[in-house]
Structure 1
Amino acid sequence: MACDCAPMLRLVTTLLCRHCQWIRRLPPLRAFSNPGGTAENQVTVEALYDLSVDIQKIRQLKGWVLHQSPAYVSETASLLRDMGAEGPMIARVLELYPEAVLCSPEQQQAQRELWRSICPRERDLVGIIEKFPASFFTSSHHANQRANIDFFQSLHLNKRIVTKLMASAPQSFSCPVGQNKEMVCTLQQAYLELGGDAANMKIWLQKLLSQNPFVLLKPPEVLRDNLLFLRDRGFTTSELLRLLSKLRGYVVELNPDSMRHTLAYSQETLGCSEAELRDMVLNCPALLYYPEVILAERFEGLLRAGVTMAQITQTPTVLELTTQIVSYRIQTLRSYGYDVRTGSLQALNGTKKDFEMSSGKLQLRRERPLFNPVAPLKVDD
């Protein structure tokens, strides 16, 4: 005799589904209390779960946030959603910077209006928040931020430059405006004293700040000390301007002691005169900022490939390339029939697209920049 089990199966299935939903919402078993014994804010935890935020990741990195009250999870999500952000992006922002939920709705709205003064398109602003959430949700220095925005706009800098500065170096906008004024004034004064054209100073300053926003966090004395050191090493005023224009804001990442050691090592290794060393520095600023251990590795890699010190002296820019890149490019050039041991090392500074075969020989199609000031520097901190 057959029995109808369908009603029972439906009941069991319904109960299992409800059980699974409850299990998914249940936080992993763990003692949810901070060292002080305060329990987690369960309202915050549940709200983050509803947004598909990885709670475990927050517990591991910034668990203290989950113990704070009040927290504004739903309000933060609503703000981002209203600006055009979608669910996955909201979850990523809250995982990366959970402190955002501690900003009150009033603070968040004030930040939104502040940022819109330099980034009016909210779609662009959402992209900035996704990459730099701490910059947007840092609201404790609102007055300083406003004053610094007004200052940089008074310099007639491009809004995109001001936005990039505030996003990538928020500390410089949180500090008193007088600090930034002093550094900018020092940079402008150095540029003019070295013979820079006043008509081009705004463009020069924009490039400098966009390529290294952290220059604003350095004391002006660093710039002065570095320029004085280089002047004492025999660089002329025009050469200092040329070098400053190549290094841009990265000149403040250097210091006299590190430059002294690096230059001494390079001169001894290359066996060149002071004048020859200055010429090489002008073409290859890497000789100022790479520590000895990195330069030693690159010299060794080039010599192992059959390159001579005389060739390196003629084309010092090859020292800006890692040993791995040099090795790969030498092999690539060899496949074209080009031997760096007998040819110019300038070929190593190019890529496949820069070469063409002419009469059975490899020819450099176009010149490449000798120095890329945007590339991050390897500096001993």
Structure 2
Amino acid sequence: MAGMLWKLLQRSQPCRLCSCRRTLSAPRHRPLVAHFTCTTDHQSNRENERTVEKLCKFSVDIRKIRRLKGWVLLEDETYVEEIANILQQLGADETAVASVLERCPEAIVCSPAAVHVQRELWQSVCKSKEELVKLIEQFPESFFTVKDQENQKQNVQFFQELGLRNVVISRFLTTASSIFHNPVEKNKQMIRILQESYLNLGGSEANMRVWLLKLLSQNPFILLNSPAAIKETLAFLQEQRFTDFEILQLLSKLKGFLFQLGPRSIRHSISFSKSAFQCTDHDLKQLVLKCPALLYYSVPVLEERIQVLLKEGISIAQIRETPMVLELTPQIVQYRLRKLNSLGYRIKDGHLANLNGTKKEFEANFGKIQAKKGRPLFNPVAPLNVDE
């Protein structure tokens, strides 16, 4: 049986635009492990010499392609020159063309006609060819995903009609391309659900458009949710006695990620936080409103962060007073504590506000503490005052 399977596997070859490798494991008593790729009927096991020669002509490092996506070199039909020409017409230089083809070699099996359609679509939201070239260089995989092009076009038009700026849409195309593969009707339905939810939670009609556009700009992946999941999460939060206004606050502070958590995840986080902070339902709700991340982070993440703070001599009471400190990773906490300790500042005797905040906020607080300790800030490159 294993022999027959091995013969079948030897005949298998990579398919076009399918670089994923599948792993087949035999039962434990048969330690045969084989790797194979999807097959087509028009390939050989030998590299296409014409493809390799053309790629070398454009200074592409063939070794990188062989190591990462060697299946591309086995394809009978490729469009190396055509794809390179499209990039050059946009203004890409030789180095940029080589970089794109090395990082995204599957581009050479894309139909030039489909790539032209993609180019026109992306150009419709880019200010210039130079900007488009930069985006392609940074996100070649997104650009050369040429499936569902009609969906992509319709969604771009829908987002423009919705009021999203082109610079935001271009960012979506590169970093959230999956939302463009949704049927446009699904995205429209999700927008309607979000609008209805906002109004039902007490939001005003006048502010709805601004709220919605901000939410989408911060988290476009909210469109990948289902209407049922959104309704379920809202109902669960209402069962936890959060008011409509408080839910709206959480939704805005968490940038829509609230809908991606689900009741089960939220329940676990609430249960853990209530136990860790030894507080009532009312007190916990106040903590969550101060620090919505208590809902967002998983229980293992919260547990790890609390343990790190406790080991540094920080009390549960201090964390309850400034729960936002849990938004910091253990590495950031330890780095900031070392800096404060270097000034003789004992965080366990003080307020966590000096530890908390963004990098800019922390540096500002650190400077104030440094000045109070009698160590004036010194800028080694500042010009000397001759009068002094």
TM-score range, shorter chain: 0.7 to 0.9
8 Å contact kept, 2:237–2:247: yes
Letter of the aligned partner of 1:108 in structure 2? V
* 2:24 match: none
* 2:276 match: 269
Q: Between the two structures, name the one with larger relative contact order (CA 8 Å, sep ≥ 6).
A: 1
TM-superposed CA distance for 1:144, in Å, is 1.0
Q: SS in structure 2 opposite 1:248?
A: coil
Which of residues 231, 248, 251 is equivalent to 2:238?
231
Query: RMSD between aligned alpha carbons?
Result: 2.0
* 1:52 match: 59
Unmatched segments (≥5 aa) in structure 2: 1-12, 15-35, 375-388
Deviates more, 1:191-200 or 1:138-147: 191-200
How far, CA to CA, are the matches of 1:312 and 1:288 in structure 2?
16
How far, CA to CA, are the matches of 1:189 and 1:357 in structure 2?
48
Alpha-carbon displacement from aligned partner over 1:328-347 (angstroms, at most 9, x marks no partner): 21221223343211211111
Deviates more, 1:317-326 or 1:203-212: 203-212
Alpha-carbon displacement from aligned partner over 1:319-362 (angstroms, at most 9, x marks no partner): 11112211221221223343211211111114223341498369
8 Å contact kept, 1:168–1:213: no
* Residue 177 of structure 2 corresponds to residue 170 of structure 1: yes
How far, CA to CA, are the matches of 1:53 and 1:220 in structure 2?
46
Q: SS in structure 1 opposite 2:348?
A: coil
Which of residues 293, 299, 315 is equivalent to 2:300?
293
* 1:373 match: none
Unmatched segments (≥5 aa) in structure 1: 1-32, 363-381
* 1:354 match: 365
Alpha-carbon displacement from aligned partner over 1:164-201 (angstroms, at most 9, x marks no partner): 11221222112211111111111121112112233333
How far, CA to CA, are the matches of 1:88 and 1:186 in structure 2?
46
Deviates more, 1:59-68 or 1:234-243: 59-68
TM-superposed CA distance for 1:249, in Å, is 2.6
Which of residues 257, 262, 266 is equivalent to 1:259?
266
8 Å contact kept, 1:103–1:137: yes
Residues 333-344 of structure 1: matches in 2 within 5 Å? 333-344=340-351
- The normalised TM-score by structure 1 is 0.81
Letter of the aligned partner of 1:174 in structure 2? H
Which of residues 115, 131, 140 is equivalent to 1:133?
140
* 1:185 match: 192
8 Å contact kept, 1:225–1:256: yes
Q: SS in structure 1 opposite 2:96?
A: helix
How far, CA to CA, are the matches of 1:358 and 1:76 in structure 2?
58
How far, CA to CA, are the matches of 1:89 and 1:238 in structure 2?
50
How far, CA to CA, are the matches of 1:106 and 1:97 in structure 2?
18
Corresponding pairs, count: 330
How far, CA to CA, are the matches of 2:269 and 2:50 in structure 1?
56
* 2:76 match: 69
Alpha-carbon displacement from aligned partner over 1:255-293 (angstroms, at most 9, x marks no partner): 211111121111101101111111111121221122222
TM-superposed CA distance for 1:134, in Å, is 2.3
Letter of the aligned partner of 1:360 in structure 2? K
How far, CA to CA, are the matches of 2:269 and 2:160 in structure 1?
39
How far, CA to CA, are the matches of 2:365 and 2:210 in structure 1?
29
Letter of the aligned partner of 2:372 in structure 1? G
TM-superposed CA distance for 1:312, in Å, is 0.6
In the superposition, relative to structure 1, how do residues 49 and 39 fare at CA in structure 2: closer, same or farther (>3 Å)?
A: same
Letter of the aligned partner of 1:132 in structure 2? F
Identity %: 46
8 Å contact kept, 1:164–1:210: no
* 2:91 match: 84
How far, CA to CA, are the matches of 2:169 and 2:63 in structure 1?
36
Letter of the aligned partner of 1:260 in structure 2? R
* Residue 331 of structure 2 corresponds to residue 321 of structure 1: no
Alpha-carbon displacement from aligned partner over 1:303-332 (angstroms, at most 9, x marks no partner): 111111111111001111112211221221
TM-superposed CA distance for 1:299, in Å, is 1.2
How far, CA to CA, are the matches of 2:306 and 2:110 in structure 1?
52
In the superposition, relative to structure 1, how do residues 122 and 202 fare at CA in structure 2: closer, same or farther (>3 Å)?
A: farther
* Residue 127 of structure 2 corresponds to residue 116 of structure 1: no
* 2:109 match: 102
How far, CA to CA, are the matches of 2:110 and 2:327 in structure 1?
44
* 1:161 match: 168
8 Å contact kept, 2:60–2:102: yes
* Residue 161 of structure 2 corresponds to residue 150 of structure 1: no
Q: SS in structure 2 opposite 1:351?
A: helix
